[in-house]
Chains A and B, each alone.
Chain A
Amino acid sequence: MQIAQSKTSASPWRLLPLQQLIPWIVPAGLIFVWQVLSQLGLLSTRILPAPTAIVQAAIQLTLSGELIANVGISLYRALVGFLIGGSIGFGLGLLNGISPIAERFLDSTVQMIRNIPHLALIPLVILWFGIGDPARLFLVALGVFFPIYINTFHGIRSLDPNLLEMGEVYGLRPRELFWTIILPGALPSILVGLRYALGIMWVTLIVAETIAANSGIGYMAMNAREFMQTDVVVLSILMYALLGKLADSIVRVLEHWWLPWHPSQGI
């Protein structure tokens, strides 16, 4: 234990700065080559704009407020869709995980719907909701629902039944059993589901925004394509990547807070 602790706490400090830089050498090199090729005219701007052009586009769109407005609306759609789908998935996962009757009643239905790729529903969803925000929120919520549901459900079901028996022997009431054993025991699995769900959230939003939208990052990209502004297209793609990375980092922080006991946290 002590060896492992000193290893994890010492390495980031002692090995600075060279070791920390190594992972960045290849990406930095690629960007450099890309820039050189663009400036020499070997890489047409129609295919890929120079990195500096993308930075310029970013500055321009930020100053005009367009970038922030579009990122804001995309974030809003992602978040609302996620909250709706995630909370339904979490609630249903808890219910079916705890109650075998509810599981028998609902689980096979959920599994059947899960086998439909949710993006295949786009034509139907457009017929139902039109091309406004409700259609996009519906798709995001649907996509997010399944990973959260399945991982919550399995997190509870794969709990060690011996721990639950122990809890009963030690006089825990059902409510206490839930808060001290069931939920903390299922939490690692729930967070895995959260990670998957965030990935699906962005993918769904990208597709939904490129098909029919008049705002958002996807709209920004599709609109730029009409005018052959490859720099804006690439910028939009980078924005998605950045937001995806941000979401992933948030889950990592949550894991750090909520699972300090977990082997993945290096104790």
Chain B
Amino acid sequence: MMTQIEYQGMSIHSVKYENGARLKIQNLSKAFGDFQVLKDINLEVSPGEFVTVVGKSGCGKSTLLRLLGGLDQPTQGQIYQNGQVLQGLNRDARVMFQDSRLLPWRRVLDNVSLGLKHQAQQQGQWALDQVGLGDRPQQWIMQLSGGQRQRVALARALVSQPRLLLLDEPLGALDALTRIGMQNLIETLWQEQRFTALLVTHDVEEAVCLGDRVIVIEEGNITLNLPITLPRPRDTASVPFAELKVQILDRILKRQRPPVSEPAYTAPLFAT
């Protein structure tokens, strides 16, 4: 897919590199009642970085995403976005949820251009073209498959050119083949538009495949912060890929292994 700088006479979609949000999370805690979901989290994310967060269900990874989106407020600590403390709803962020959350009473195009004030139709059509659904703007949501619905949701998230894209297990409900297609699509669009991305998932392979960095959260703490330096697009069948995957899985499942003699890819490990 080509980067579209001019689209039907619009120049607003010229891709600004370094467009992504810079995030600094400081001593972030979140408690629901007496239950501590996140405990003193510290994390920095560079503009345009793709960070994937893995962990067991209930470990607090979705809560972190909701805090970044401003959907919940932290109990303690701050989130700095481009140097400013995040308060209330994060206007620079868009969230893509596991359920597509499309409005069944609006057609595909009207779902995508939801909340847009200017040139809503053209911008919506542009976003639909990006996700490969440009030929069905007038269909109803009920007429789409699960994978197509998530593509519409992705188009809706990207139409306003967010600086931060938050993905809350968006591919969790899709079949394996559709999921691979969506992963490629997300990666391509991220490479073109250079927003900062944070993907929460429980699929370690997906996390390694997409992330510049994989973060493991266990019981509210970041226990692994692992940069992935494999070249993109990543070969999920390669040995270094498999080794990274095993390293992360071992961490999550707390498995012990005899030390491997000279691994092909030694990834730096920052446990906090």
Whether B104 and A172, one on each chain, are in contact in the complex, defined by CB atoms closer than 8 angstroms, is no
- Please indicate the chain A residues that have their CB under 8 angstroms from the CB of B142 in the complex: 261, 263, 267
B99 is an interface residue with CB less than 8 A from chain A: yes
A228 is an interface residue with CB less than 8 A from chain B: no
- Please indicate the chain A residues that have their CB under 8 angstroms from the CB of B91 in the complex: 171
Give bound CA distance, A4 to B251, whole Å: 49
B89 is an interface residue with CB less than 8 A from chain A: yes
Give bound CA distance, A263 to B89, whole Å: 34
Give the contacts of B39-85 with A (CB-CB under 8 A): 69, 71
State how many residues of chain B have any CB contact under 8 Å with chain A: 23
Contact flag A181-B103 (CB < 8 Å), given A1-B143, A168-B89, A170-B94: yes
Contact flag A169-B114 (CB < 8 Å), given A162-B97, A163-B103, A259-B105: no
Minimum CB distance partner of A168 in chain B: B89
Whether A169 and B103, one on each chain, are in contact in the complex, defined by CB atoms closer than 8 angstroms, is no
- Please indicate the chain A residues that have their CB under 8 angstroms from the CB of B93 in the complex: 169
Give the contacts of A168-187 with B (CB-CB under 8 A): 168-172, 176, 180-181, 184-185, 187
Residue from the set A163, A169, A262, A263 with the largest chain B CB neighbour count within 10 Å? A169
B174 is an interface residue with CB less than 8 A from chain A: no
Nearest chain A CB to B52 CB, angstrom units: 21
Chain B binding surface, main DSSP class = loop
**Binary B-proximity of A1-34 (CB < 8 A = 1, otherwise 0):** 1000000000000000000000000000000000
Give bound CA distance, A88 to B95, whole Å: 39
Contact flag A171-B115 (CB < 8 Å), given A162-B99, A267-B143: yes
Minimum CB distance partner of B144 in chain A: A1
Nearest chain B CB to A110 CB, angstrom units: 28
Nearest chain A CB to B66 CB, angstrom units: 10
Give bound CA distance, A172 to B71, whole Å: 14
Minimum CB distance partner of B105 in chain A: A184
Nearest chain A CB to B72 CB, angstrom units: 11
Nearest chain A CB to B137 CB, angstrom units: 14
Whether B104 and A261, one on each chain, are in contact in the complex, defined by CB atoms closer than 8 angstroms, is yes
Give the contacts of A239-265 with B (CB-CB under 8 A): 259-263
Contact flag A169-B105 (CB < 8 Å), given A176-B115, A267-B140: no
Give bound CA distance, A267 to B93, whole Å: 34
Give the contacts of A41-97 with B (CB-CB under 8 A): none
Nearest chain A CB to B179 CB, angstrom units: 21
**Binary A-proximity of B85-102 (CB < 8 A = 1, otherwise 0):** 000010101110101010
Give bound CA distance, A216 to B105, whole Å: 41
- Please indicate the chain A residues that have their CB under 8 angstroms from the CB of B69 in the complex: 169
Give the contacts of A117-175 with B (CB-CB under 8 A): 160, 162-163, 165-172
Give bound CA distance, A187 to B91, whole Å: 30
CB<8 Å pairs between A and B, sample of 25: A1-B143, A160-B101, A162-B99, A165-B101, A166-B97, A167-B114, A168-B89, A169-B71, A169-B89, A170-B156, A171-B91, A171-B115, A171-B160, A176-B115, A184-B103, A184-B105, A184-B106, A261-B104, A261-B107, A261-B141, A261-B142, A262-B104, A262-B105, A267-B140, A267-B143
6 closest cross-chain pairs (CB), A and B: A166-B101, A184-B105, A170-B115, A171-B115, A261-B140, A1-B143
